[in-house]
Chains A and B, each alone.
Chain A
Amino acid sequence: MLAARLGPGAVGLLVLADGRFPAGTYAHSLGLEEAVAQGRVRELADVTAFATGLLHTTGRVGAGLAVAAWRLAMAGADGPLWRLLDVECDARMPSPAQRLTSRRLGRQLWRTAARLPLGTTGRATVAPPDRLGAGDAGPHQPVALGAVCARLGGSDLDAALLAALGAASVVVHAAVRLLALDPADAAAAVAGLGPQIDRVAAEAVATVAAAAARVPAGDASAVRAPGVAAGLAAALAAAPAGGAPLLEHYAEVHARREWTLFAS
């Protein structure tokens, strides 16, 4: 059923979704280590609740930004639009520690994914996003993910789905190591979040698509036309922007701790 749904050319995306894809995510907990340290997460049910909260806040934002990045890649966007998206990402991540983590993961993802063969229907980015950002340079993680999905021939929904699934998976698998959970419970927990992951991803696509309705996606020749660029810019600005102050708090406290196992 999976193969019939995915069709030819999906293997590259499955490689990207594989937990063994070497993009450095295994060393991150996205705030869970700090939540455990503060005694707020103790068992499997807490982990599921934490992941659910993350999905509907920063997860939703990440999925929307990944969709926006996918649109830029498919439209053959040039430097100014990528830089605009970079600014939109920063604006949605007030915590410096979260920005650092996002750029670190984005850099690492891009490093590996840029070496995958271009998908048969894939689109290589015209302006590679890997040089984005000042100081601690590199693309934010959702930017890299959206561009990579376009490269592999994936859809905007694929980008959103992988963004949301990736966040949930990182949290739950960090919990296996922090709380010595049953790995089968962890796999079941991630699968159990499936309907919510689907919903978050579909909403991210719909939100950005509504704002970009005027933009002819995939028309590289038109991207420099003022109307098209303005439409894409509107799509970027329309990406979800919800926040999660407790996750920001966790990220900032974690970054200042001496004894941590995870990088976030």
Chain B
Amino acid sequence: MAAAARRPLRVGIGGPVGSGKTALVAGLCRLLGGDLPLVVVTNDIFTTEDADFLRRAGVLSPERIAAVQTGCCPHTAIRDDIVANLDAVERLEADHPDAAVSLLESGGDNLTAIFSRALVDVQIFVVDVAGGDKVPRKGGPGVTHADLLVVNKTDLAPLVGADLGVMAADAADRRQGRPVLFTNLRRPDGAVEVAAWVGAQAAAWADAR
């Protein structure tokens, strides 16, 4: 623990394809980057696309972002064989000793994906309303065990016939009290609550040093 506490807090961000993981990372960089120096590792089945998105968005300088390819196996890279991600995040942290938080974005995957505890300290699972309001009820390790569940694209609920109340109730049932946040990450301030949660986690991590 003592050795681990000397490094930044590592936050995993997982979830299905298109749910808003990269938008969340961009939002967190924008909202947190001023106070908490960040580094970001992205995993994408199409490699550097996410990293390029973040660079283009201008939310983080390019040398603070690393892309890791996963050979068509995004869940393997965060759960079963994490060495490439560990290698990448350790190198970024060594190059940027000021970093307080390291964000690791998984490639889009299914509901069974979860980060190894050896790779991240806390993890966020991002699902979206457009995927159907049954997603929280279906459960899976991501929905049930992530330290924070984010339900994104709340603006689409009326368009896809999704009941946010049902999603909130099912999520509360599946997650036994672990936190859930509803977001619309297309709004400029869409990630404010998630940023506050990450900020609190980082403060607790720093206090444990």
**CA separation between A116 and B39, bound complex, in Å?**
31
CB-contact partner of A26 in B46, B81, B86, B87, under 8 A: B81
A28 in contact with B47 (CB, 8 Å):
no
In this complex, the member of A20, A112, A263 whose beta carbon has the largest number of chain B beta carbons within 10 angstroms is: A263
On chain B, the residues within 8 Å of A133 by CB distance are none
On chain B, the residues within 8 Å of A151 by CB distance are none
**CA separation between A226 and B195, bound complex, in Å?**
62
CB-contact partner of A111 in B68, B73, B87, under 8 A: B87
B87 in contact with A20 (CB, 8 Å):
no
- Answer whether residue B80 sits at the interface, using C-beta atoms and an 8 A cutoff: yes
A22 in contact with B81 (CB, 8 Å):
yes
With both chains docked as a complex, state the minimum distance between the C-beta of A124 and any C-beta of chain B, in angstroms. Answer: 21
Q: Is chain A's interface secondary structure helix, strand, loop, or mixed overall?
A: loop
Residues of chain B touching chain A, judged by Cβ–Cβ distance below 8 Å, are: 45-49, 68-73, 76-77, 80-84, 86-87
With both chains docked as a complex, state the minimum distance between the C-beta of B83 and any C-beta of chain A, in angstroms. Answer: 4
A24 in contact with B69 (CB, 8 Å):
no
B87 in contact with A108 (CB, 8 Å):
yes
CB-contact partner of B73 in A22, A27, A112, under 8 A: A27
With both chains docked as a complex, state the minimum distance between the C-beta of A250 and any C-beta of chain B, in angstroms. Answer: 15
B48 in contact with A22 (CB, 8 Å):
no
B87 in contact with A104 (CB, 8 Å):
yes
A262 in contact with B71 (CB, 8 Å):
yes
**CA separation between A24 and B47, bound complex, in Å?**
15
**CA separation between A34 and B95, bound complex, in Å?**
31
**CA separation between A24 and B83, bound complex, in Å?**
6
A-B pairs, top 4 by smallest CB distance, nearest first, are A27-B71, A22-B81, A108-B83, A263-B69
CB-contact partner of B45 in A108, A174, A261, under 8 A: A261
A263 in contact with B84 (CB, 8 Å):
yes
A27 in contact with B70 (CB, 8 Å):
yes
A24 in contact with B81 (CB, 8 Å):
yes
Given A27-B69, A27-B70, A27-B73, check contact A259 B83 (CB 8 Å): no
On chain B, the residues within 8 Å of A23 by CB distance are 81, 83
Given A104-B87, A108-B84, check contact A28 B48 (CB 8 Å): no
**CA separation between A104 and B83, bound complex, in Å?**
10
In this complex, the member of A22, A27, A174, A263 whose beta carbon has the largest number of chain B beta carbons within 10 angstroms is: A27
28 pairs from A and B in contact (CB 8 Å cutoff): A20-B80, A22-B80, A22-B83, A23-B81, A24-B81, A24-B83, A24-B87, A26-B73, A26-B81, A27-B69, A27-B76, A27-B77, A108-B84, A174-B71, A178-B72, A258-B47, A258-B48, A258-B49, A259-B46, A259-B49, A260-B47, A260-B69, A261-B47, A261-B69, A261-B71, A262-B69, A262-B71, A262-B72
